[in-house]
């Protein structure tokens, strides 16, 4: 007999303190405090719900109704006041007022070393940046808390929490915010320190404008400027700040005309200002004469890079948008929104944190840049010396001699042709070098397939041509004042082209280990373990690559500038120097380059990304990129190029994930620089002894204990042994190890509803062998069916290891049954009885998969037992009722039936512990006494009616809302349906939510497997499916699941836009055939109703009296469902089995051929052709009985209910082939 040994979540009450462990007053006080807090939490929740409803949820509330809501609020507030007075809580609102927050923030800044030395503008920038980080930290924390809470909930709780997720997260944010607003934590101090340090080290000078707006001094510091020159610098700063605020998207074809126009105007302004400043820089450069141009070009390349990256990042969610997503705005409005309104400075404020992100993207860009440079080198040819004429031509004096006709123009030029045929002169504009390149690039972006390839080849030729022209000195860069800027433009354009060519290669190219850059990025950006769709992943990877491309463009441009200028003035050198020594020179020159300074600044997000640096580097080294193609064999692999074109040795620099500091290592991995060690190599015990929470990442804590590398989360060297060590530490109170297990790139934690296949993101055969490591360290050889939700899987060298991080211990023999017991228990939300467990054991000790599943289905189709958390025991309820009655009859008498005998208690104990009867004082506000029955329902309300809350008002007109639906279906149906309806109910509400919610997740529980129609008209079982679509305002949602198709599946629609939408259109549902993974698409684009209908198994939606009509998906569902209900056809989950002459045949495809009869007539006959897994076909006839039901509302319309398939007849079709 197998015993279920699954760990049970303790219920919430027992999670307080175990009563038996209470030994002294302190414990008692803690116990009481926790209880009070629990009540407060609940009261908070309810109050929030009520207030929300009053504020936004209800349309057209009458004064009377508002009065009633106010009454509820009053009641709740009274209860809360009471609790607060007991908890001695001061008015937190006071603490959180905006003045208070800003005061505290400034105080925090002023107490930080170095803050006072910053300029006023820089100080403001630091404080603004702090606020940004602060907000994102809160959001992050709230998400984490939510997940924790979800993990602790029982089954039903999970569903409800899923529905209420949006509300909940907002709520948690509020709580999180309350805590954090004190700005007292060590984390706050450290972040502030980092920001100040960053500003000191990197610090763009910042000026405050008249209205307090921040203007970044992009142009940097200048000395000895006259008035005119100062104007040039000021103008550049102003225009550059303005330009940097534009969105990158506006520069693309996808922008609107207005955007493009605006972008163009500001861009031109910027180009002009840039032209001026680049000349000024050259003039003022303190470098040697021959290096002045190089200095100026590098200078502008860096600034340009920063600005363009800023533009690119502008597309990320803005802070203000984030703020508007927090439901309870009271606190935020007071503390932050005011600040925003005072000064609209958010984009500028993001500058510093962004520079870190920029550095991170720069790191991703490294292989691209290196490849680009490699391409460049391949094309470089040693050139002969230039002739004087050529040099003249390049300086704006057009030489018309025949010898010089090959000089090409950089910019546009009017050209006059003689048209002899028509005897006329034609004047046309000829595109210059840049124009031609631009046109090609533009064409490439719009092209596909072979055409694209052709264009890319053309671009490659054009690139070589232009390079040749430059090397030959045959480019006309225009007049002196434009020359330098034009040179920059061309170099940059060439650099872009290299990157473009390389990127296009990249997307198809794979590394030597068989992984594509896409899959690598997916891993690095931690996309694998997250529950997001393939589409979304692709989108993220695409965007990252675009960013990396931009960054790489600047990186290689920086390189090219150095390469070309080489201290000799542009293109004047007669031969290319020894490339290897040149590269090395650059590396030496730029040791400790600006990236190290920039990267010192802390930014949680960016730091995580920067960890990829070494990984990409490694992959690059392993890849075929660095020595393929015609690139000469140079030691490029030793060159890393940062976002601004500066080079550095990657193996010597490592970004500390904890602090963002750049640590220097020598070639043997010894730490060289010591300035940042303190924060990385913290003495944990010392910190903890002081009661201070150290700002140390989980990786470091665990790594310290395990003696393994601290950046384990980005380390592919996680071996089964390391995992075993980690597991030994799992469950530690700080949760760090669990974090590692969950966040490690090379392993995945199985989430609810997933299997090993999904977790690993690869298809795995369900019989695939796996090594299973139990919590106690024992290993068994089993198959991947031994995995449970919460387990950690890693795949190494083709082998699968399953670590039972779920805590479920398995042995080889009991695996299947145990798995099913667990699933069943989860679904039922209760423990199985021993009799039920015995059933899973089977007669001979082992059930086959299908048998176990059938048993599971049978058990779960019974009415679920609603488990209500916090339900008082029967005794408690009785006592409660007694108490209530007591209070009602005699309000003065505050005597609790069984006296607490306070007098017996020690007086000091009394003073601290004694709970007066204040709690009871509010009794009079409760209108009528809550009887035990009331209690029951009110408790249930916690579970059931939340549905109503989520069920928004705007259900499609004329459609029954979830509740009505339930009523109509409840009439005369058997109990087995109710469970189904529970989900339908939820679906209706979720669909409604999908229609009305603006962001976040909407969860729909399928309630049954999805079947789809294949192109040959058959319905097929699908093993995975994908929903994508958008509503009519362009809001996107998607869901994707492969390898799983079971009724408990949740479809989570991720709404990605924040626009309010009405109505879903353009939904595409694709299914994947479980036999050969063929894609099937639901033929017609279903609108909301179709989708809803297709999900509401059991809801009647056949067309009345419609014979031989085109069938919808729901027709099929009807057959299957009815078959299940009536047990006439044996349908096991997604498997339909037919009884053919006593033999059981598994049907894989099903096609409806004809339909006769009508609901009104009480009978519908359907004729199907069924196909089994071997391809044999059967003729199947079913007969359904229908009866009339009264209307669900007070209208006259009645509805029809299907009583199920009452009869079916099946025959094998023998065709010519002899099947």
Partner 1 sequence: MNKNKRQIDQTLNKIDREYNLTMAKLNKVHQDFFNFIKEHREVKDKERLNKLRKDILNK
Interface of this chain with partner 1, residues 57 to 96, rule: CB under 8 A: 58-61, 65, 68-69, 72, 75-76, 79, 83
Please classify residue 869 by burial: count the beta carbons closer than 10 Å to its beta carbon, then call 0-12 exposed, 13-18 middle and 19+ buried: middle
Site string for partner 1, 969-1008 (x = CB under 8 A): ----------------------------------------
Q: How far is the CB of 906 from partner 1 (least distance, A)?
A: 8
By CB under 8 A, the residues from 701 to 740 that bind partner 1 are none
Phi, psi angles (nearest 5°) of residue 1188 = -90, 140
Q: Find out whether 650 and 590 touch, Cβ atoms under 8 Å.
A: no
Under rule CB under 8 A, residue 950 binds partner 1: no
- Report residue 832 as tokens: 């199985």
Burial letters 414-442, b for 16+ CB under 10 A, else e: eeeeeeeeeeeeeeeeeebbbbbbeebbe
Whole-number minimum distance, CB 91 to partner 1, in Å?
21
Decide if residue 260 touches partner 1 (CB under 8 A): no
Q: Is the Cβ–Cβ distance between 219 and 225 less than 8 Å?
A: no
Cβ proximity to partner 1: between 891 and 937 the closer is: 937
Cα 767 to Cα 761: distance, rounded to the nearest angstrom: 17
Shortest spacing between CB 257 and partner 1, in angstroms: 40
3-state secondary structure of 1168: strand
Name the CA dihedral angle for 387, 388, 394, 395, rounded to a multiple of 10 degrees.
170
Contacts of 264 (CB under 8 A, 6+ apart): none
Token reading at 928: 């009528």
The smaller minimum CB distance to partner 1, of residues 205 and 921, is found at 921
Strands (E) in 1056-1142, as ranges, are 1064-1073, 1079-1081, 1130-1132, 1135-1140
Please select the residue that binds partner 1; options are 53, 222, 687, 763, rule is CB under 8 A: 53
State in angstroms the smallest separation of the CB of 709 from partner 1.
Answer: 48
Q: Counting contacts by CB under 8 A, is residue 120 touching partner 1?
A: no
Q: Contact 1131/1110 with Cβ under 8 angstroms?
A: no
Please give the Cα distance from 179 to 92 (Å, whole number).
10
Q: How far is the CB of 19 from partner 1 (least distance, A)?
A: 6
The single residue listed with the structure tokens 């960013």 is 547
Residues 851-910 that bind partner 1 (CB under 8 A): 870, 872, 876, 879-880, 883-884, 896, 898-901, 904-906, 909
Which residues, 6 or more positions from 774, have their beta carbon under 8 angstroms from its beta carbon? 780, 804, 809, 810
Minimum CB distance to partner 1, residue 1005 (Å): 22
Among positions 225, 576, 728, 913, the unique one binding partner 1 when judged by CB under 8 A = 913
- From 3-11, 420-428, 821-829, 940-948, span contacting partner 1 (CB under 8 A): 940-948
* Least distance from partner 1 to the Cβ atom of residue 1092, Å: 17
Q: For residue 603, what are its two tokens?
A: 């930014």
Q: Rounded to the nearest 10 degrees, what angle do helices 612-622 and 517-524 cross at?
A: 160
Contact predicate 607/663, CB 8 Å: no
Footprint of partner 1 on 18-47 (CB under 8 A): 19, 22-23, 28, 31-32, 35-36, 38-39, 42-43, 46
In three-state secondary structure terms, 465 is: helix
Of 60 and 514, which CB lies nearer to partner 1 in the complex structure?
60
Smallest distance, partner 1 to C-beta of residue 1147, A: 42
Which of 102, 652, 922, 1126 lies at the binding interface for partner 1 (CB under 8 A)? 922
Cα 126 from chain centroid (whole Å): 28
Q: Residue 186 or 917: which CB sits closer to partner 1? A: 917
351's CB contacts (< 8 A; 6+ apart) are 125, 129, 204, 216, 310
Least separation in angstroms between residue 1024's CB and partner 1 is 38
Tokens (6 digits) for 224: 């000895």
What are 419's strand-pairing partners? 424
Q: Closest separation between CB of residue 741 and partner 1, Å?
A: 36
Among 472, 598, 814, 942, binds partner 1 (CB under 8 A): 942
Nearer to partner 1, 179 or 912 (CB): 912
Residues 799-828, mask of contacts with partner 1 (x by CB under 8 A): ------------------------------
Q: Does 10 bind partner 1 (CB under 8 A)?
A: no
C-alpha separations of 804 from 155, 744, 826 in Å: 21, 16, 17
Task: Confirm or reject binding of residue 961 to partner 1 (CB under 8 A).
Answer: yes
1018-1047: contacts with partner 1 (CB under 8 A): none
Q: For strands 1163-1172 and 1177-1189, give the pairing.
A: antiparallel
Chain positions 1178 to 1197 lying near partner 1, rule: CB under 8 A, are 1193-1195
Would you say 780 or 896 has its CB closer to partner 1? 896
Q: Which is nearer to partner 1, 53 or 665 (CB)?
A: 53
Q: Give me the least distance between CB of 927 and partner 1, in Å please.
A: 7
Segment interacting with partner 1, rule: CB under 8 A, options 810-818, 937-945, 1095-1103, 1144-1152: 937-945
- Distance in Å, CB of 170 to partner 1, minimum: 19
Q: Does 945 bind partner 1 (CB under 8 A)?
A: yes
Nearer to partner 1, 149 or 910 (CB): 910
Q: Residue 781 has what DSSP assignment?
A: E
Beta bridge partners of 1024: 1072
How many residues contact partner 1, by CB under 8 A?
73
Question: Does residue number 1081 form part of the binding site for partner 1 (CB under 8 A)?
Answer: no
Q: How far apart are CA 1190 and CA 1197, in angstroms?
A: 7
Q: Which is nearer to partner 1, 46 or 724 (CB)?
A: 46
- Nearest distance in Å: CB 876, partner 1: 5
Structure token digits, residue 495? 């650099």
Q: Which stretch binds partner 1 (CB under 8 A): 562-570, 939-947, 1015-1023, 1173-1181?
A: 939-947
Shortest Å, Cβ 985 to partner 1: 14
Least separation in angstroms between residue 96's CB and partner 1 is 25
Among 953, 1059, 1160, 1209, binds partner 1 (CB under 8 A): 953
Given the complex with partner 1, which of 34 and 245 has the nearer CB atom?
34
DSSP state of 57: I
Please list the alpha-helical segments (H only) found in 736-791: 736-743, 756-760
Retrieve residue 13's tokens. 């009450």
DSSP letter string over 473-540? T-EE--SHHHHHHHHHHHHHHHHHHHHHHHHHHHHH-B-TTS-BHHHHHHHHTT-TTS---HHHHHHH
Query: Between residues 67 and 385, which has the closer beta carbon with respect to partner 1?
Result: 67
Neighbouring residues of 1201: CB distance < 8 A, sequence distance ≥ 6: 971, 972, 973, 1100, 1186, 1187, 1188, 1189
Closest separation between CB of residue 987 and partner 1, Å?
18
Site string for partner 1, 126-145 (x = CB under 8 A): --------------------
Count the Cβ atoms, other than its own, within 10 Å of residue 1034: 11
C-beta of 68 vs 106, nearer to partner 1: 68
Q: Segment 276-335, which members bind partner 1 (CB under 8 A)? A: none
Nearer to partner 1, 717 or 898 (CB): 898
Closest contact distance (angstroms) between CB of 6 and partner 1 is: 29
The minimum distance between CB 658 and partner 1, in angstroms, equals 42
């Amino acid at each position: 007999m197998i015993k279920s040994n699954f760990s049970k979540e303790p219920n919430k009450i027992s999670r307080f303190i175990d009563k038996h462990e209470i030994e002294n007053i302190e414990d008692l006080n803690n116990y009481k405090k926790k209880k009070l807090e629990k009540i407060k939490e609940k009261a908070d929740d309810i109050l929030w719900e009520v207030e929300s409803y009053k504020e936004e949820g209800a349309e057209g509330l009458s004064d009377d109704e508002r009065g009633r809501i106010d009454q509820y609020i009053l009641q709740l507030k009274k209860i809360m006041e009471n609790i607060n007075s007991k908890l001695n809580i001061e008015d937190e609102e006071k603490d959180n007022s905006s003045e208070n927050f800003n005061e505290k923030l400034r105080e925090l800044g002023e107490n930080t070393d170095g803050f006072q030395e910053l300029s006023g503008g820089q100080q403001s920038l630091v404080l603004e940046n702090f606020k940004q980080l602060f907000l994102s930290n809160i959001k992050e924390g709230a998400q984490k808390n939510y997940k924790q809470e979800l993990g602790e909930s029982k089954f039903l709780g999970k569903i409800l929490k899923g529905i209420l997720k949006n509300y909940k997260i907002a709520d948690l944010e509020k709580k999180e915010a309350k805590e954090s607003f004190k700005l007292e934590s060590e984390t706050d101090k450290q972040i502030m320190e980092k920001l100040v340090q960053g500003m000191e080290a990197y610090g763009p000078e910042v000026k405050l404008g008249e209205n307090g707006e921040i203007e970044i001094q992009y142009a940097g510091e200048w000395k000895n400027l006259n008035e005119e020159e100062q104007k040039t610098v000021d103008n550049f700063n102003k225009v550059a700040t303005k330009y940097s605020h534009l969105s990158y998207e506006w520069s693309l074809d996808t922008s609107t005309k207005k955007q493009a126009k605006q972008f163009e105007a500001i861009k031109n302004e910027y180009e002009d200002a840039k032209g001026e400043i680049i000349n000024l820089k050259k003039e003022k450069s303190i470098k040697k004469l021959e290096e002045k141009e190089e200095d100026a070009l590098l200078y502008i390349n860096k600034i340009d890079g920063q600005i363009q990256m800023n533009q690119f990042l502008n597309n990320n969610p803005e802070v203000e948008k984030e703020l508007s997503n927090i439901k309870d705005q009271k606190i935020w409005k007071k503390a932050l929104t005011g600040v925003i309104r005072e000064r609209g400075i958010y984009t500028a404020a993001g500058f510093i944190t962004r520079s870190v992100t920029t550095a991170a993207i720069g790191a991703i860009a490294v292989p691209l840049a290196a490849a680009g440079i490699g391409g460049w080198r391949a094309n470089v040819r040693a050139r002969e010396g230039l002739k004087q004429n050529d040099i003249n031509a390049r300086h704006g004096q057009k030489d018309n001699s025949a010898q010089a006709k090959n000089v090409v123009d950089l910019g546009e030029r009017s050209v006059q042709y003689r048209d002899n045929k028509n005897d006329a002169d034609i004047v046309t504009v000829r595109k210059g070098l840049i124009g031609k390149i631009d046109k090609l690039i533009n064409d490439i972006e719009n092209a596909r397939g072979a055409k694209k390839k052709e264009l890319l080849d053309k671009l490659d030729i054009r690139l070589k041509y232009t390079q040749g022209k430059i090397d030959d000195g045959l480019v006309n860069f225009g007049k002196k004042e434009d020359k330098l800027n034009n040179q920059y433009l061309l170099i940059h354009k060439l650099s872009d082209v290299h990157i473009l060519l390389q990127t296009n290669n990249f997307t198809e190219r794979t590394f030597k280990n068989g992984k594509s850059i896409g899959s690598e990025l997916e891993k690095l950006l931690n996309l694998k373990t997250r529950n997001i769709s393939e589409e979304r992943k692709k989108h993220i990877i695409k965007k990252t690559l675009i960013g990396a491309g931009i960054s790489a463009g600047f990186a290689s441009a920086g390189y090219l500038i150095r390469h070309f200028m080489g201290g000799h003035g542009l293109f004047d050198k007669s031969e290319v120097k020894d490339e290897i020594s040149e590269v090395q020179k650059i590396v030496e020159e730029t040791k400790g380059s600006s990236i190290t300074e920039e990267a010192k600044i802390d930014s949680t997000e960016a730091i995580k990304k920067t960890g990829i640096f070494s990984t990409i580097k490694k992959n690059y080294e392993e890849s075929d990129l660095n020595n393929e193609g015609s690139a000469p064999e140079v030691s490029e692999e030793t060159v890393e190029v940062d976002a601004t074109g500066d080079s550095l040795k990657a193996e010597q620099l490592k970004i500390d994930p904890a602090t963002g500091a750049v640590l220097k290592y020598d070639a043997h991995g010894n730490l060289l620089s010591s300035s940042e060690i303190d924060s990385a190599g913290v003495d944990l015990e010392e910190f903890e002894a002081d009661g201070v929470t150290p700002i140390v990442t989980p990786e470091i804590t665990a790594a310290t204990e395990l003696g393994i590398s601290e950046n384990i989360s980005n380390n592919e060297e996680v071996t089964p042994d390391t995992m075993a060590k980690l597991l030994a530490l799992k469950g530690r109170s700080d949760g760090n190890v669990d974090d590692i297990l969950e966040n490690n790139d090379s392993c995945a934690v199985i989430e609810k509803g997933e299997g090993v296949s999904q977790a690993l993101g690869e298809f795995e055969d369900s019989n695939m062998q796996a090594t299973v490591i139990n919590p106690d360290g024992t290993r068994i050889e089993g198959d991947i069916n031994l995995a449970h939700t919460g387990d950690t899987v890693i795949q190494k060298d083709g082998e699968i290891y399953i670590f039972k991080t779920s805590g479920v211990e398995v042995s080889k023999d009991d695996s299947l049954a145990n798995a099913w017991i667990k699933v069943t228990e989860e679904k039922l939300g209760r423990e199985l009885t021993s009799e039920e467990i015995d059933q899973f054991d089977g007669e001979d000790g082992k059930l086959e998969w299908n048998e176990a599943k059938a048993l599971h289905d049978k058990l779960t189709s019974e009415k679920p037992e609603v488990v209500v958390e916090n339900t008082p025991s029967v005794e408690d309820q009785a006592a409660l009722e007694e108490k209530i009655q007591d209070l009602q009859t005699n309000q003065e008498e505050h005597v609790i039936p069984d006296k607490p005998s306070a007098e017996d208690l020690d007086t000091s104990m009394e003073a601290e512990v004694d709970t007066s009867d204040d709690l009871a004082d509010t009794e009079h506000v409760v209108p009528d006494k809550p009887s035990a029955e009331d209690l029951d329902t009110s408790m249930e309300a916690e579970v059931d009616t939340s549905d109503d809350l989520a069920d928004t008002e705007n259900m499609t007109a004329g459609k029954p809302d979830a509740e009505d639906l339930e009523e109509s279906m409840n009439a005369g149906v058997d109990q087995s349906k109710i469970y189904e309806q529970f989900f339908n109910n939820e679906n209706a509400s979720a669909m409604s939510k999908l229609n009305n919610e603006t962001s976040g997740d909407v969860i729909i529980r399928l309630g049954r497997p999805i079947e789809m129609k294949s192109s040959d008209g058959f319905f097929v079982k699908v093993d995975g499916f994908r929903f994508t679509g958008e509503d009519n305002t362009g809001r996107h949602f998607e869901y994707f699941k492969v390898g799983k198709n079971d009724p408990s599946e949740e479809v989570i629609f991720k709404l990605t836009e924040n626009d309010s939408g009405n109505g879903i259109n353009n939904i595409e549902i694709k299914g994947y055939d479980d036999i050969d993974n063929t894609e099937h698409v639901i033929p017609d684009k279903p609108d909301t109703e179709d989708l809803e209908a297709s999900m509401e198994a059991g809801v009647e939606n056949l067309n009345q009296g419609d014979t031989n009509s085109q069938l919808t998906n729901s027709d099929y569902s009807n057959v299957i469902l009815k078959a299940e209900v009536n047990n006439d056809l044996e349908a096991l989950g997604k498997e339909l089995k037919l009884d053919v002459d006593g033999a059981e045949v598994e049907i894989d495809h099903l096609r409806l051929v004809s339909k006769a009869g009508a609901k009104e007539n009480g009978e519908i006959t359907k004729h199907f052709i069924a196909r089994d897994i071997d391809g044999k076909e059967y003729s199947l006839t079913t007969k359904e009985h229908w009866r009339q039901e009264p209307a669900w509302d007070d209208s006259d319309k009645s509805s029809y209910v299907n009583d199920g398939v009452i009869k079916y007849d099946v025959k094998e079709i023998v065709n010519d082939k002899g099947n």
